[in-house]
Chain A
Amino acid sequence: NAGVTQTPKFQVLKTGQSMTLQCAQDMNHEYMSWYRQDPGMGLRLIHYSVGAGITDQGEVPNGYNVSRSTTEDFPLRLLSAAPSQTSVYFCASSSDRTNEKLFFGSGTQLSVL
């Protein structure tokens, strides 16, 4: 059982470049979310989705876009990378966000130069 799969694991970008972080889950979870983790700041919610076709902003959405065309996939797009977006990004999913455990992917370490 793969769980939550994130790709790539590491990425280096130049300022202004765009890229997509991939997230896929095979547990048929309706709820999916993206977090970034920064030293001293903890985990902060970027965007989340409660089902295919439904997305909403989290705490720090600026500079990021998401879409949810299928239950399985929830990609995160960086439109024009900035050094402030250097971070570790985690995707997480749950079958019921208020009643069930949250499952995390292994993360993507992103550096923007």
Chain B
Amino acid sequence: KQEVTQIPAALSVPEGENLVLNCSFTDSAIYNLQWFRQDPGKGLTSLLLIQSSQREQTSGRLNASLDKSSGRSTLYIAASQPGDSATYLCAVWTGANSKLTFGKGITLSVRP
């Protein structure tokens, strides 16, 4: 059974800092990995999708990498801003039935 872990559960950083959010998964037979952002009381927004054959994807100040063999992904946020404060979740598609398994998320607070 696929398990997705995100540690730590919460993170507080000063504005302007570059930061890395980690995600690990137990079954490397994935189709893709997605990083999502969730604001309080809102739905999830997909930020980046990395196919299993890819190593990384970039969108603006965000860069996500994937190391399938080691079961790890990182989301790099450059020059963090207070508007980046949210919960960030990673999720992987796995298996013949293509189930999407989510991590529990990292709640990020960027202090002005």
Q: Which of B32, B42, B46 contacts A106 (CB 8 A)?
A: B42
Chain B, interface SS category: strand
Q: Please tell me if the beta carbons of B49 and A104 are within 8 angstroms of each other in the complex.
A: no
Q: Please tell me if the beta carbons of A42 and B34 are within 8 angstroms of each other in the complex.
A: no
**For B100, what are the chain A residues with a Cβ–Cβ distance below 8 Å?**
33, 45, 97, 102
**For B105, what are the chain A residues with a Cβ–Cβ distance below 8 Å?**
42
Number of interface residues of B (CB under 8 A): 23
Interface centre among A42, A58, A100, A107, by most B CB within 10 Å?
A42
Q: Which of A43, A59, A101, A105 contacts B46 (CB 8 A)?
A: A101
Q: Please tell me if the beta carbons of A107 and B102 are within 8 angstroms of each other in the complex.
A: no
Closest to B30 in A: A98
Q: Which of B46, B98, B104 contacts A98 (CB 8 A)?
A: B98
A74 at the interface (CB under 8 A from B): no
Docked CA distance A97–B104 (Å)? 20
**For B41, what are the chain A residues with a Cβ–Cβ distance below 8 Å?**
107
A43/B89 contact (C-beta < 8 A), A98-B32, A98-B98, A99-B51 known: yes
| Nearest 9 CB-CB pairings of A with B | A104-B43, A98-B31, A101-B46, A42-B104, A43-B102, A104-B44, A106-B43, A101-B49, A42-B102
- Could you tell me which A residues sit within 8 Å of B by CB distance? 4, 33, 40-43, 45, 56, 58-59, 90, 92, 97-107
